[in-house]
Structures are given as structure tokens and as C-alpha cells.
């Protein structure tokens, strides 16, 4: 039986490439999305991947959605906490809402989904959790105190949960993408982005597939001895 994989924010950007990569690796993938119906519908039509709508930052919605997946398909065995948003600005201009939205969606979602899936993984003595962090959680980034804090939190969350999951066959790892050619990065002002690209030793933005290949590897049965690690995929921009 194909293992059940849940990818949050799995219909667009890096998440869409992860969903497709896992499907191509033989997983039964369910991709979640928060609100962009049109994108989810065209993703599903193109890939044949089932999509489910809920807010990953909302604990009750996560618990309900994971229970529904378990009832329909079986327990989630592979969880990719990918959902993420930006609300970039300097702290002087950042509102409390901009802080909360990013912390809830990017970091709170890791708790919500991991907790909702953990018992099922433990019962099956197998689990793969991959949390998508960021180079900006490792190095910080001007204009991103909210995002850097959330992503940095993901790296701590990963190492703590890895210790709890190990004896149940549950591995927990993070991937720290650098600047990847997605809508999120294209929202960075062009002059700022140009300077960022100039600092990437590989001389280009990443592709969503560059990140997806890492997720496919870390969620494979063969990656059983890798847990609590962070895989940086950033073209050499930050060596951590």
C-alpha cells in the first residue's frame, strides 16, 4: 500500500513541487491549501492529486482534517510542514497582526499538524516529518523579524520532536531552502532581489524541484537513520 503523505501549502510553489515529487515516488499524496481555490483546482486537475482546504494555523481545523484523512485513506505516515507566508517589513512598521499571522501559519502549523499526526505514526511505528525552514531562519533577514523568528523556531521544533519520535520510528528533519523562484520570492523588490542573487555562489535562484528532491529523500524508507538534521538547499548562499 502506498504510504499516505500530507503536504501543507501543497498546491502552489515549493509545496506543489513537493506534492508531485512524492506522488512520483509512489506516495498517496494529499495537498492542503488555505484559500486559493482556483490554484488548487488547476493543480488537482493537472496532477490528479487530491486537495483539501483548511487553515494550517488553526489547531481545530488541522485536527479535523487529519482525522478525515485517516478515516478516508488511513493514518498520515509522511507529513511535510511546508505552509508559509511572508509579511515583510521593518519592525518599525510591523503590526502585531503581521507578527501573529506569520508565527501562526509558519510555526504554529508545525505544532498543529505534527500533534494531529503523531499518535497515528506512533501506532504504526513509522513516521516521516519534514519541516520547511529557511535560510532566513538560520541567518536572519532585514525586514523579516516575524518570518525569521518562525523559521528559526522550526529548526528548534525539529530537533526537539526528533528526540521524541526516534524510539517510535518517526524521523523529524528540516530543510532550509534559500531563495527559490516562487511567487513569494518574486514579491521581493527587484533591486533587492538582484543583490540577493549576486550573493548566491551557484549564481541562480533555486527551483521548487531542488527543494522537492530533498523532501523525497528525507521521507524515503531508506532515510531511517537521519533525524533531527537540517538540510540546507541554498546554492551555497549560507553555510551553516
Residues that bind ligand CAA (CB under 6 A): 86, 88-90, 93, 134-136, 141-144, 147, 177, 179, 184-185, 188-189, 192
How far, in whole angstroms, is CA 55 from its chain's centroid? 14
H and E: helices and strands count for the chain: 10, 7
Active site (annotated) includes residue 59 = no
Of 6 and 185, which has the nearer Cβ to ligand CAA? Answer: 185
Residue nearest to ligand CAA (CB): 143
Rounded distance, CA 8 to CA 19, Å?
9
CB of 95 to ligand CAA, least distance (A): 12
As measured in angstroms, the least distance from the Cβ of 141 to ligand CAA is: 5
- If the CB atoms of residues 15 and 143 are measured against ligand CAA, the closer one turns out to be 143
Which of the following is catalytic: 33, 59, 147, 240? 147
Cell 503523505 belongs to which residue? 5
| Closest CB 33 distance from ligand CAA, rounded Å | 18
Phi-psi category of 13—alpha, beta or left, where left has phi over 0 and alpha has psi -120 to 50? left
* Pairwise CA distance, residues 110 & 129, whole Å: 10
162: cell is 526528533
Q: Which C-beta is closer to ligand CAA: that of 140 or that of 169?
A: 140
> Of the two residues 108 and 143, which places its CB atom closer to ligand CAA in the complex?
143
Q: Give the residue among 113, 127, 139 at the shortest CA–CA distance from 232.
A: 139
List residues with catalytic annotation. Answer: 147
Amino acid at each position: 500500500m502506498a504510504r499516505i503523505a500530507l503536504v501543507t501549502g501543497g498546491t502552489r510553489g515549493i509545496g506543489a513541487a513537493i506534492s508531485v515529487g512524492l506522488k512520483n515516488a509512489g506516495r498517496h499524496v494529499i495537498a492542503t491549501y488555505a484559500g486559493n481555490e482556483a490554484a488548487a483546482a488547476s493543480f488537482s486537475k493537472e496532477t490528479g492529486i487530491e486537495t483539501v482546504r483548511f487553515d494550517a494555523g488553526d489547531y481545530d481545523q488541522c485536527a479535523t482534517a487529519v482525522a478525515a484523512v485517516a478515516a478516508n485513506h488511513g493514518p498520515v505516515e509522511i507529513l511535510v510542514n511546508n505552509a508559509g507566508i511572508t509579511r515583510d517589513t521593518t519592525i518599525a512598521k510591523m503590526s502585531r497582526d503581521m507578527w501573529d499571522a506569520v508565527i501562526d501559519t509558519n510555526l504554529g502549523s508545525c505544532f498543529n499538524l505534527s500533534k494531529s499526526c503523531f499518535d497515528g505514526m506512533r501506532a504504526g511505528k513509522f513516521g516521516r516529518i519534514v519541516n520547511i525552514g529557511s535560510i532566513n531562519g538560520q541567518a536572519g533577514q532585514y525586514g523579516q523579524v516575524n518570518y525569521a523568528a518562525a523559521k528559526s523556531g522550526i529548526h528548534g521544533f525539529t530537533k526537539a520532536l526528533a528526540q521524541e519520535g526516534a524510539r517510535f520510528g518517526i524521523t523529524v528533519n528540516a530543510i532550509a531552502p534559500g531563495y527559490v523562484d516562487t511567487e513569494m520570492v518574486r514579491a521581493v523588490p527587484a533591486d533587492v532581489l538582484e543583490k540577493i542573487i549576486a550573493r548566491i555562489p551557484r549564481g541562480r535562484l533555486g527551483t521548487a524541484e531542488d527543494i522537492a528532491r530533498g523532501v523525497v529523500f528525507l521521507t524515503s524508507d531508506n532515510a531511517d537513520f537521519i533525524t533531527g538534521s537540517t538540510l540546507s538547499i541554498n546554492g551555497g548562499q549560507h553555510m551553516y
